[in-house]
Amino acid sequence: MSIHRKSKFEVNLMKQAGNIVALVHCAMKDAVKEGVTTKELDELAYKIIKNNKADPTFLGYNGFPATICTSVNEQVVHGIPSNDVVLKNGDIISIDIGATYKGFVGDSAWTYPVGEISDEKKMLLKATEESLFAGLEYMKTNERLESVAGAIEDVAKKYNLGIVRQYGGHGVGRQMHEDPFVFNYRTNNKLILQHGMTIAIEPMLNLGCDDVIVLEDEWTVVTQDKKPSAHFEHTVHVTDEGAEILTKLL
Ligand code: MG
Ligand code: MG
């Protein structure tokens, strides 16, 4: 495993990339409505990223065909935007966004409600967001990465939610996926966090069981029991004082 700790200069470029990702999320929050297609969301995201002199990180990544990942209801991650997916009142949609600016990547996902959603779904969104921020509490010099994973796991357990096991967070920088991999549950990881590490933390929690499967399109990950799933992610910089969120507006 090789972890590249970023210089101040590099972190500043990552902040710019993160700012662009945050701009897209702001637009998504407003655009997510009953009747909108996920393809329309994708086109809007592409425009904003390009208008800000950045590139959509996901487009073409291992052959992924779109700018953003749009995962509706029981879809967990890697949903492909489509003209055929029209948002309905009561849906939830996880939107994952990556932008590369001057060679550096920002990566952030958020789950949005469409109109009025069920109390169960509201709880799922609240709990998954809470688990992200519980994990971020430990993104500090000399803390263990295991504490981040444990904090996420504890929130999931508190709400009796399933934890997606096959996917997780990751180092991020010049590459979207760098070391270390970050599980969203305890694995007895020995890694000690250090100033300058930049890592995406991204819990994916399910209303039902942990298990997920990949659909025939070879991208879309869905829960095996078809119950809804949520995904919240920020790219953060580890500092002596704590987590500095990079995927936010400057
Ligand atoms: Mg992401
Ligand atoms: Mg990520």
The full set of domain ranges for the chain reads 8-245
Q: 208 alpha carbon to ligand 1 midpoint, in Å?
A: 22
Query: What's the rounded Cα separation, in Å, for the pair 195 and 173?
Result: 14
Q: What is the pLDDT of residues 168-220, one digit of tens each?
A: 999 999 999 999 999 999 999 999 999 999 999 999 999 999 999 999 999 99
SS3 category, 122: helix
CA 193 to mean position of chain CA atoms: 20
The Å distance, Cα 22 to ligand 2 centre, comes to 14
Give the CA radius of gyration of the chain.
17
Strands 243-245 and 162-163: unpaired
- Domain 8-245 fold is Creatine Amidinohydrolase (3.90.230)
CA of 170 from ligand 2 middle (Å) equals 6
For residue 206, give the nearest of 111, 107, 141, 140 by alpha carbon: 111
- Residue 1 CA to ligand 1 center (angstroms) comes to 21
The CA 34 to ligand 2 mean position distance, Å, reads: 27
Between the CA of 203 and the centroid of ligand 1 the distance, in Å, is 10
SS3 of residue 51 by DSSP:
helix
Ligand nearest to the CA of 69: 1
Examine the pLDDT at 97 and tell me if it is beyond 90.
yes
Ligand nearest to the CA of 108: 1
233 CA distance to ligand 2 centroid (A)? 7
Nearest ligand for residue 77 CA:
1
* Percentage above 90 pLDDT, the chain: 99
What spacing in Å lies between the alpha carbon of 129 and ligand 2's midpoint? 15
- How close is the Cα of 97 to the center of ligand 1, in Å? 6
Q: Work out the pLDDT band at 229, boundaries 50, 70, 90.
A: very high
> Is the confidence at residue 1, as pLDDT, over 90?
no
